[in-house]
Structure 1
Amino acid sequence: MIPTILDGYVRGDREFFRGHAICHDATELEDVDRFIDRIMPFMNLYQDLLDAGVDWLAEAAAACNRRGVSPWVSIRMNDYHGHKNLEGSFFNVPLLKNLEMRLKHSAYSPSMYEPGYRTGLNYEKAEVRDLMMAQIREVVEDYDYEGLELDWWRQPLCCEPNASSETIEMMSDWLREVRALTQRRAQETGRPFPFGLRIPSQLETLKSIGLDVVTLCQEGTIDFVKPSGFWCTSWEMPHDTLRQKLGERVAIYGVMELGANPLPTYAPEIDYTHHIRYFTSNHEMMRANAAGKLVLGADGIEWFNFYCTDSAHIPGLISDYTALSGMGDLDKLRGQPKHYTFSMSGHGLVLPPYEVTPQLPTTLGKWWNRSFRLPMCAEPGDRGLELVIQVVLKVGDPDEILPVAFNGCWPRLEHAATNELLYPCGCLTQLTLAHQGYNFRFPVELVRDGWNEITIENGNEESLTIVCIELAIRPIET
């Protein structure tokens, strides 16, 4: 019997959820009770379906089919939402309670963000592989799905690091068994059944934990991959380089994650500061992130965590589902306003060593200069658009002489200081008091398809910190 998240739950049993409260940082009694007050009604909705005999996994596939959508299913390979209480959180698969089934060496530094977050199930154990294969077999053979994704970003934990060639081949054989399942299903239904992985882009790091993605793609075991960031979307995902490594036969999709980056921003109307922008509230950011992936050769766009903006219940911060239409069409994106930014290092929101290494924040000493690369799409020159580059510094940093160049043009000194974001993200419209923005204007014709380069020079006597760089394609100011 495959375990489920509500095994053992009796409606109204508050104690069933108490052990998970610490995973939401609720430790005081009042906070724990408030957490239970929130989660129990939500989980009761699923209990309602169970009591009524409704299989929501089957209903999801049926709903897609009624609307002409090919239903694919995604399985998290090492979900760790209950990692702060492995014994007591109802989120955890029972096998996690067994220390012998868990990884012991994935946390490579004692000072890293929550080393315990890296101690998930160890796929070197046959019991772990058997459990996950049973789940995979059930959704492939017993449901009407037409594609399978194994999600190795929740979490990127597989085997112990520095896996041997024998361990890597063992995992490859296991994934070939999954491929055989999907091929048999395709033969039974007469429909293709694509099989792929959602993964970090650091392919050698994945191989170190047992996942030889390059070989699996090149030999035809894998039909598609979805390289992504952990919680923040990637703005510099090297789709062009990944194509060179993985070959032409595999589809490589661009993934848009919920978070823009860890730049905190401010909503003056509700006097609220948020540590991250949920950019499903920002059409311009969505267009820019999609364009930066498509222009490097992404075969399509996948959204991840789109709904989480709404679940945060922040006034004025709402996901706009109408914006999903057309995000995979680069031609339609050209000529529309966009808001690019850069990936940033950020405590808990970026998960090294699996991420594309962020270029920001960074420090420039006196007379230092530095270049930053970002994929963008070229824009038509007849739409009345311009490029605005916003350099975000720490408040108090020297700002008088700050030459900025774009794609090798002559550096510009003229700028306008501002605390306004280039485009609002729902209710979030301003930088926080800790930061100051400086806007530089350039002709939109300088933007080219593919990688673009921003060069910043510190001409001041003192060092400064470039916290972030943001770029807007927007109507020319008059």
Structure 2
Amino acid sequence: MSQGNSGNYKQFKSFDISDDHLSAVNRKRRVALNFDVVLFNPAPNEDPYKLLEERMVFTDDPSTTIDSIWWNWGEGNIVPYKSKRLPSLQHDGYQSWLDQGIDIVKIFLDETHKRGLECFYSHRMNGGDMDPRTVPGVGVIFDNFVHEGQFSSGIEAGPNKIPMKEENPEWLFDLPWAPSKPWNFAIEEVRQFILGNLTEIVEDYNFDGIELDFARGVVFPQGEGWQNRDKLSDFMQQIRQMTLEIEEKRGRPFLVAARVPENLPGCHFDGLDVETWAKNNFVDIFTVGCRSFEVDIQSFQKIVRGKSIKIFPSIDDHHSSDGYCTPPIEVFRGLFSNWYQQGADGIQTFNFAYGPKQALSPVDPWGDIHLQAYKEIANLPQLLYSDKTFVIQRRGGGHGQELIAYPEDWETPRYWYANTNMLAQLPIPLSADDKVDTLLKINIGDDVNTHYEKVNKVQVKVLLHDCNKEYLKIPRMSLPTKETENQIQRVMIREFVIPFRPGKENEIALYNNPVSKDTDKHLQMRINNILSPIPRINSGWFIFDVSPKHFALGENLIGLCLTNKKSNQNIMVEKLEVHISYKK
């Protein structure tokens, strides 16, 4: 086993890209849908084409703007196809297909191509081994739980056992939340094993490309990422070498995408030397972020300057951005507007609904809002003067406290950066000194200053929490404690509008402790140093009615403070939103 030292002086090969390959990189690709397809529970002998049609409802809708589907077929170590290297899913439904010679992966790939869509294979770099399986006398297990039909019983069952992991425990490392130990990519044998697995996929299937998803799984032990970056870069170099060789053999391009954290410091934290990957043409597409509203597209543009590498920010609306799980469509519009204004080449969706009444989402609003988003996400003329909400990112959240801390119980996530929104601005203490502002930056993707005559109104909404009492955490179906006579209305900060299923229908919601009713008289806000009018209070929020001329296109600086000093005053800014409505 060769783990070696950090070795930070390696020279890498830079690849020349053919004209045909560049044409494939530049093909029309507005929306790339990353599809977690393996999370269904097929009955033995079930018609695979019926399952595919169910999962293509939104894609087949002519009003949506999906150009590319990136099928994810599991955690990466057990597969639904016949492999010479990896075990097959031990699930009755999948096994019945294999026994009949039915290749579910090829069917989905071919049917995607028949629709004229690009098709990628998305590989989780270090999945949790929660792939579905059937256990005699127990039932069907996936995502670590025993299931009854399509729904979880809430009974934990543990991950699959992976033969190569059982045989080589020294290739693994511990994570506190992971029941299955992940691969340590600092070890040469691990990288060669994964390379061989991916080579089999590229050789055996006619995919247009592959996505290496570094948002799904930590690839190095804690604190060892950056010192091992050359080893991962060498792996990426070998991936590119392999795909280009197979591209030449088959006579058509094969692209490489990498899903990475939303900014360069986050990539460095996780041991991903994306600057080297870009410099040497190891990738064609960076899919950037996960549940991050604030993506540093401009920094990625700098490292790909002079290259034909595309930048696709990615949004997950299941393990969602904290406080914004399946938000109103105006929030999605603000998100898309910001990304396009900053120069995104397209957008990737992750964990979005695939139909209005899918098995994991039989109730609204999940499906309806996602369908509306797919209709608007790349329809720029329609998006231009549609009402929008621009928000400031909150830290953490999305996966649960055991994996990533919630902002109200924050601790630095030292195992990895991806998925954490570690550098987000909120929550933040509100200054109680009228000479010292709490400063926040917010991006506005619409040029409301130039086109102010088309704007109906602009409101800045601020949500505060009084830290003299704890946050209120109760099941979402429960009624919160009534406010005191001196308090404004209590507000839900976070809820989970995730697919309804047993065990998930009554998730814990987070409410603020409301501030006092006289706070509006003392709360000041400045937009780009322009003092705003005194706010009013509505439904627990502080509402500032402001002029569109106060905002610049792109980044804006907002200052907040309280003008009345109190010794016991301890208030947090939980949310800040800019709501823009246009004249109809």
**What is the TM-score with the length of structure 2 in the denominator?**
0.61
SS in 2 for 1:171: helix
Bigger share in helix: 1
Aligned counterpart, 1:389: 460
- Determine the C-alpha separation between the residues in 2 that align with 1:397 and 1:409: 25
1:81 & 1:470 partners in 2: Cα distance? Answer: 39
1:374 aligns with 2:442: yes
Summarize the Cα distance change of 1:118–1:216 in structure 2 as closer, same or farther, 3 Å threshold.
farther
Equivalent residue for 1:226, pick from 273, 287, 310: 287
1:183 maps to 2:278: no
Q: 1:244 matched to which residue of 2?
A: 302
Question: In structure 1, what residue type is equivalent to 2:344?
Answer: A
After TM superposition, give the deviation of residue 145 of structure 1 in Å: 0.7
2:461 pairs with 1:402: no
Residue in 2 aligned with 1:76? 124
Cα gap change, 1:180/1:407 in structure 2, threshold over 3 Å: closer, same or farther?
same
Structure 1 residue 89 corresponds to structure 2 residue 158: yes
Which position in structure 2 is the counterpart of 1:35? none
CA distance in 1, matches of 2:528, 2:180: 40
| Equivalences for residues 14-413 of structure 1 within 5 A | 45-80=93-128, 82=130, 89-91=158-160, 93-97=162-166, 98-104=168-174, 114=176, 116=178, 119-158=181-220, 161-162=223-224, 167-204=228-265, 206-207=267-268, 209-229=270-290, 233-249=291-307, 250-258=309-317, 260-263=320-323, 277-279=325-327, 282-307=328-353, 312-313=360-361, 315-319=363-367, 320-328=370-378, 330-347=380-397, 348=399, 350=404, 352=413, 353-354=416-417, 355-367=421-433, 368-377=436-445, 378-379=447-448, 380-394=451-465, 395-398=513-516, 399-400=519-520, 401-413=522-534
Residue 48 of structure 1 and its aligned partner are, at CA, apart by: 4.9
Q: Aligned partner of 1:187: which letter?
A: E
Cα displacement string for residues 303-361 of structure 1 (whole angstroms, at most 9, x for unaligned residues): 01113996654743222324313413555422111122222124545573513511111
Name the SS of the counterpart of 1:226 in structure 2: strand
Structure 1 residue runs of 5 or longer lacking an equivalent are 12-42, 108-113, 264-275, 419-435
How far apart, in 1, do the equivalents of 2:562 and 2:184 lie? 48
> Contact (CA 8 Å) 1:256, 1:303: kept in 2 or not?
yes
2:553 aligned partner, one-letter code:
D
Q: Deviations over 1:420-444 (max 9, x none)?
A: xxxxxxxxxxxxxxxx322212223
Structure 1 residues 149 and 356, CA gap change in structure 2 (3 angstroms): same
Report how many aligned residue pairs link the two structures: 398
Alignment correspondent of 2:547 = 443
In the alignment, structure 1 residue 471 sits paired with structure 2 residue 578 = yes
**In structure 1, C-alpha distance between the alignment counterparts of 2:351 and 2:335, rounded to whole Å:** 15
Distance 1:451 1:164 in 2: 30
Compared CA separation, residues 324 and 205, structure 1 to 2 (3 A): closer
Distance 1:159 1:464 in 2: 37
User: Taking structure 1 as reference, are residues 117 and 285 closer, same or farther at Cα in structure 2, changes over 3 Å only?
Assistant: farther
Match of 2:538 among 412, 417, 434: 417
Structure 1 residue identity aligned to 2:390: Y
Identity of aligned residues (%): 21
Matched position secondary structure for 1:71: strand
Partners of 2:93 and 2:225 in 1: CA distance: 42
1:236 and 1:356 in contact (8 A); partners too: no
SS in 1 for 2:530: coil
In structure 1, what residue type is equivalent to 2:364?
Answer: G
Q: CA RMSD in A?
A: 3.4
Q: Which amino acid aligns with 2:537?
A: A
Verify the 8 A CA contact 1:195 1:223 in the aligned structure 2: yes
- Among 548, 563, 567, the alignment partner of 1:459 is 563
Q: Which residue of 1 aligns with 2:471?
A: none
- Greater Cα shift, 456-465 or 155-164: 155-164
CA contact 2:441–2:555 (8 Å) conserved in 1:
yes
The one-letter code sitting in structure 2 at the alignment partner of 1:219 is: N
Distance 1:406 1:99, change over 3 A: same
C-alpha distance in 1 between matches for 2:264 and 2:161: 28
What is the CA distance between 1:261 and its match in structure 2?
A: 3.0
Gaps of 5+ in 2: 1-37, 45-90, 131-142, 146-155, 406-412, 466-512
Opposite residue 369 of structure 1, the aligned amino acid is D
